[in-house]
Every structure is written in structure tokens, then in C-alpha cells.
Amino acid sequence: MANIEHVVIIGSGPAGWTAAIYAARANLNPLVIAGDGANRERMPGGQLMFTTEVENFPGFVHGIDGQKMMGVLQQQAERFGTRVLQNFVTRVDFTSRPFKIWHINDLSGEAEAQVLAHAVIISTGASANYLGLESEKKFENNGVSACAVCDGALPRFRDNPLVVVGGGDSAVEEATYLTKFASMVYLVHRRDTLRASKIMAERALSNKKIKPLWNSAVEEVLGNDNDGVTAVRIKDLKTNATSVIECRGMFAAIGHTPNTAFLKGQMDLDPKGYIALKEPFRSTTSVEGIFAAGDCADPIYRQAITAAGMGCKAAIDAERWLAEQGID
């Protein structure tokens, strides 16, 4: 039989690299397959690869560029013997052990290859949902964001008007959080009432720094290369009239999509596609020997530091499970 890996880690964000560090230090000789085939722009490294300033991850006094941070974590994992394939997982078979994982390198044009594993840690993350505007993509990380907690305290946003798009709990939370820093927060929603829970909606609407723009949608993000976002053009969905709202940033708060499409039919997912964890505070899933960490299994926090913590737990759980199976 072909060589069977002790543990394969799918995904290379904070959860994946932390899992690799712990697994490597436990002499599990982990293999990281960096991409899952679902990340935005098909780039391994998770959402932090699209973040220019990370200021809320412990240990970096002056903040750090997201790509640089992922590089540092990878180097730390490799220092302890982690092996890395810069490939994308295309499909898996978790119906029997050893588990089968197929992967491909899109750039090289090589044929699809297969890896066998005793245990698997899935850390493929989740992708923020955006409006799909060309102008939105142009100013991503230059005034356009999908995470107020991650970016709201950045200097460019302080004491300036900001726009939040959405009407659910996430949008209300983002808008409320941003009032700590912004001079005014415009909450753009396609309906005339919020979809958020009643108590959260009431709290937001009573906040003097939050101004709702009902029955409205962002038509275009305006700005320039030097200043980034300077305004957004809003369309009234009832009258079709347009107006320009001056602002220094726009936050999309219309949900996330977990990068788990390749897992359908292989394990239990919740209705939104997040991996269903079998036990509270653990990383175990519906398939014995498969563990999950990070945003692909976390619809609530979605922070780099919580993902890293989950990666730690997944590696420890995998190590203990392998020992119980007599696999060393």
C-alpha cells in the first residue's frame, strides 16, 4: 500500500499553520495542502492574504501585513518539519480509512494526485460575501472591508463617515462597533426594516451615530488610488434616484460562505455549510479521525486568533486520537 500520512492539514490560514506547528512538534510529520480550491482568487493562505494591516493578533506591537504574517507562520511550521504542498484539494473520500484526498497544482498542469491519511484536519476558512461590484474589488483593503473588528480601528477610518451594507445581525453588529471610531455610520439596507433581532435593531436605531438608508443599494464605490475610498453612490430602489455619500470606507456585512463545498456528502455540515462539530469545545466532526478548525467551523467569531486557537485544539485532538488507534 502507498505511504499513509499520519495527518494531512487542508488549508493554510492561521488555523492550518497553528495546527501544523502543534502537530509537527508532536512528531506527527504533518503534510499541509495549502489550498482547498474555494478560496477567493484560488490563493492559499486564507483571507489574511488579502489584508494589508493586521493589528489585533497578539505579538505584533505595530501590526503586520497579512501576507507577511502567513509567511511567518508557515516558516515556523516548516522549522519543526511540516511539509507543504502548494496545491488545491479537489475532492475527498472520507467513507473509509485511510482517508483519500485528491489534489492538483493548477499552475504546473500536472495530473490530479492522491494522498492517503490516517487523520485529517480541515482548516479551509470562509470567504466573506461581497456585492460583486468592480469598483468594490478595486478598493478592497483600501477602504473596502468585510470585517469591522479586524479593520475598524485603522487610522483611515477614525473620525470619518463610514458605510455598512446589510440589514441582519452581522450588519448591525458591524455598524454598532464602528461607532466607536467613525464620525457617522450609514447603514445601507435594501428593505425598509432591519432583519436583525429586535433588541439589536432597536439598539442600532437608537444610536445617534447610525443613520439608516432604507430601500437602498450601493451602486458604485468611488475613490482614487492615493486616497482609497472617498464616497459611495447609493441608489433608491423605489424611486431609482441616486445620491453620493461621502465616506472613507465601506464595510460589506452580508455574510460569509464557508469553503466546504468539496465536503458535501462526506460529513455533516450545518444548513449554512459550516462543518458541524460533534462536541462543544472540541474539534471532532461527524467522521471519526476528521477534525476541523477555524472559520470553516466557526460562524460566530471569524477572527485570526480564534482560528489559531482552534488549530491548536485540532492538532491536540488528532494526536490523542492517533495514539488511541495505536498509530505512531
Q: Which residues contact 79 (CB under 8 A, 6 or more apart)?
A: none
Pick from 36, 19, 41, 37: nearest CA to 28:
19
Catalytically annotated residue among 150, 247, 296, 312: 150
Catalytically annotated residue among 36, 65, 106, 147: 147
Is residue 312 part of the annotated active site? The answer reads no
DSSP H or E stretch at residue 324: helix 304-324
Is residue 247 part of the annotated active site? The answer reads no
Pick from 275, 278, 307, 321: nearest CA to 23:
321
The three-state DSSP-derived secondary structure of 246-292 is: ECCEEEECCCEEECCHHHCCCCCECCCCCECCCCCCCCECCCCCEEE
- Cell numbers at 147, concatenated: 470585517
What are residue 252's DSSP bridge partners? 165
74: left (phi over 0), alpha (psi -120 to 50) or beta: alpha
Is residue 151 part of the annotated active site? The answer reads yes
Q: 304, 64 in Cβ contact below 8 A?
A: no
Residue where the block lists cell 460529513: 267
Catalytically annotated residue among 93, 106, 151, 159: 151
Query: Distances from the Cα of 269 to the Cαs of 157, 171, 252, 261, 265, in angstroms?
Result: 36, 24, 25, 10, 9
Helix (H, G, I), strand (E, B) or coil at 24: helix
Return the active site residues. Answer: 147, 150-151
